[in-house]
Structure 1
Amino acid sequence: MWNYDEFVAKAKLYFLRASERSRADDEFTFWLLLGSEFLLRAPLAQKGSFLLAVPEGPSLMHAAGYTSATSEPKSIPYKTVCERLKIIIPEFSKVYDDAMYLANVRNEELHSSNSTLANLHSAAWMPRFLRVVEVIASHLTLPVETLIDSEIIEHARSLANEEDARIQRTVSQKIAAAKDFYSKLLEAEVESRRILKIPATRGRFYSTAECPACEEKAFLFEKVVRSTRERVVDDAIENDQIMVSTDFQCLVCGLTLGGMSEVRIAKLETERVVTWTTEPEERFEIEPQYIEPEMEEEYGND
């Protein structure tokens, strides 16, 4: 039920069915979307079928090889698959939003009265599809061309290149406008804008970066996509959080960039690792009176 080779084979079968359809046919998109979902489950199956089983009922026992005619094992939902892939495949964090977008397209087609696929332009989903498939294929050490027809890949890559070119134009225009605005500011105005602060928002992370327009200190907003296990280092507890950039804002020249794609095109940092250190007393909420005091050495007792 949760066999790695079978997931890959089923994904290939669905991708093949897509290649036999016209690009203008709804089924072309539908088969590719379904095929990608089987491919997404393959890395989890490769690590262990139990990663695909829901924890309730007989599913875990089924994954362990204990089956019965009356049992009905169930698989974890798509979103849980994607959350686990972020842990197994660090690069997947960068395409997580793309994977969720594809799932939303599929859901809207299947569970609403809308003709979603019929009205969906290839440029809206094929670059996202390609990015997701390439990350999974790279992890599995499978050439993308062995999974999907080469013509479909080339089509998706050409659309991705067009998307990058469009974003490049947008970012260049934004930077040019911000530079022009900055050049017209008086020194006193620049100084007053330098002391502006980002409004505090609970749960919102940011780091500082040099603005590509005015070279002033600006803010790069981030979100946590993955956390490592805690570890003990020199009597303290540490863990790493992987942060990806979501937006950029310069309060001096007014440059704003939305989304990781614009941040990447502007050659700003898109990912970083933050190490957090916590004292055991704080981590486990140990009351001071229960902490063993350090004993002073006594004369003649060394």
Structure 2
Amino acid sequence: MESIKQLNIDNRSYNLIVDLGCGDGGITKHLFGKHLPHKRLVGIDVVDDMISYARNHNMDDTIEYVKQDMSIGWPEIASPRVRQLDGTVDLLISNFALQYMPDKCQVMNTCSRLLSSTTTTTTTNTGGIFHANIAILPDLNKKLVTTKGPPKQWYPTIDKQIADWKQSIIANQLDIKQLMTIDYDWTIDRQSMIDFMPVIQSNYRSFFKNQSDFEAELNDHLSDTLFDAFVNPTAPDPKPNAWQQFIADTTVTEVVVHFITIRVTAVKQKQIN
């Protein structure tokens, strides 16, 4: 709701809103659609089942859903509807989706391209607004335990990840108005944690030089390292068998996952003719 408060100053109304990475459309309809006055809202996601569910359960008169992978470059985007949005979006929202896209600069180039250079709302005349909550992945270097020599420095630090996002945003004609870091604690039940582990693993795939390195690290101890980093981030020493112990101890019914989020608001710079 904090994001909604920031975007709904003086009951601002938007002509066109895009929810990038809308998932099943629940937040799109019940949070963004309900609390952000608008004429049209487009939810975009890459997963067929998510878009299908959204169309069946979270439609509204002003909402539509489009399937498209937004992690690819603009020339490769095939959806005619997405291409129609070029330069027309007043507000682009992304809630915990951008961290799944490995090329930060490429996705920010697409976001910038979608945003209007000049947007007139009920209270202001400015460029289109970009607003996102982005999860920052824990720095695994401090947790990495290896039997194959010294730890490999494949994982960017938290500060490096934040700096990379800032640089990618600024490099794509977006003027950062606010960027804050937020500590999140997420209580998750046992089965959800088990189901979520492959998603966490996939986030780190891009940090490896090649697939064989990723598979070797995954088979060796990556799950233990990831679980330890998310659940015990401040522990002074790594716990080499953290994931294995969690799986073996069925009395543990839930865990608290810790991570950092950046909340950023930026405005498309006006083009000078």
Question: When the two structures are superposed, what TM-score results if normalisation uses the length of structure 1?
Answer: 0.24
Higher relative contact order (CA 8 A, sep 6+): 2
Please identify the structure whose Cα radius of gyration is greater: 1
Would you tell me which structure has more helix in proportion to its own residues? 1
